[in-house]
Amino acid sequence: MPIVKYPRATEPLWHEWDRKAQKCGLRHTVYAVNGDQYTGEWLDNLKHGKGIQVWKHTGAIYSGDWKFGKRDGYGLYSVLDPVTKEHKKVYTGWWENDEKCGHGVMFYLGGERYEGEWSCGLRSGWGRMYYQDGSIYEGQWLEDQPGGQGMLQLSNGNRYEGGWKDGKKHGPGKYFYLDKGQLFEGTWAADIPKCGIMVDFGRLEAPAPTKYPIPKV
């Protein structure tokens, strides 16, 4: 009885080449076509785990966690100072789906700084902002602006406590004029006090009190 031999099915070579090309695990620096470079861990040809990304065009660096090709987890983002040619820290904190999310600290030009919560790359939740003029806002944020309840303390010690909307005083609130020893309690709309009551508040201890006290009604 004759024996028939069938040819063994062979896998196309490109299958093997593709498996070898797939990046998985820890790799040395991998360069993109545009000059960007990444050093770190991979999974199924995507950045996944710990890694450092350097953008050639801007010189920016991200060092931290990755998940399926996107910044996700804890990481530090820095940019190159064109004057000093050194990297300056811009953001350190948590990321999700390539955007700031969770608790983090953002450093702005002029020495301003935000410490607090983020959502979808925007300041949202509770946070504290240190402004260049020396004032400090502490309270709730919504879509990158003060929104909800919060306190703004000015560099001269005066402060506002109350409602905020779209980054402006809005709703019931109190404004302490500690330099004059007065307190205004009332309602604001778009940063403008609409109605309220002004009373003396620590007038005798104020550095620049009014000439006459407010008469009691």
Name the more confident of 30 and 152: 152
Q: Exposed e or buried b for every residue in 119-133, given b needs 16+ CB within 10 A? A: beebbbebbbbebee
How many distinct structural domains can be found in the chain? 2
Cα first-last separation, the chain: 123
In whole angstroms, what separates CA 146 from the centre of its chain? 14
**Tell me: the pLDDT tens digits for 84-131?**
889 999 999 999 999 999 999 999 988 999 999 999 999 999 999 999
Q: How many residues does the chain have?
A: 217
Q: Which of 44, 75, 99 is the last residue of a domain?
A: 99
Do 12 and 23 contact (CB within 8 A), yes or no? no
Domain membership flag for residue 32 = yes
Q: Is residue 5 part of a domain?
A: no
Q: pLDDT category, 160, cuts 50, 70, 90?
A: very high
pLDDT of 210: 86
Domain-embedded: residue 2:
no
Q: Indicate the pLDDT class of residue 44, thresholds 50, 70 and 90.
A: confident
As a whole-number percent, the residues of the chain with pLDDT over 90 amount to 73
CATH of the domain at 191: 2.20.110.10
> Of the ranges 20-34, 56-70, 202-216, which one carries the lowest mean pLDDT score?
20-34
Indicate whether 85 and 116 sit together in one domain.
no
What CATH number does residue 27 fall under?
2.20.110
Are 81 and 55 part of one and the same domain? yes
Regarding whether 86 and 32 lie in a shared domain, the answer is yes
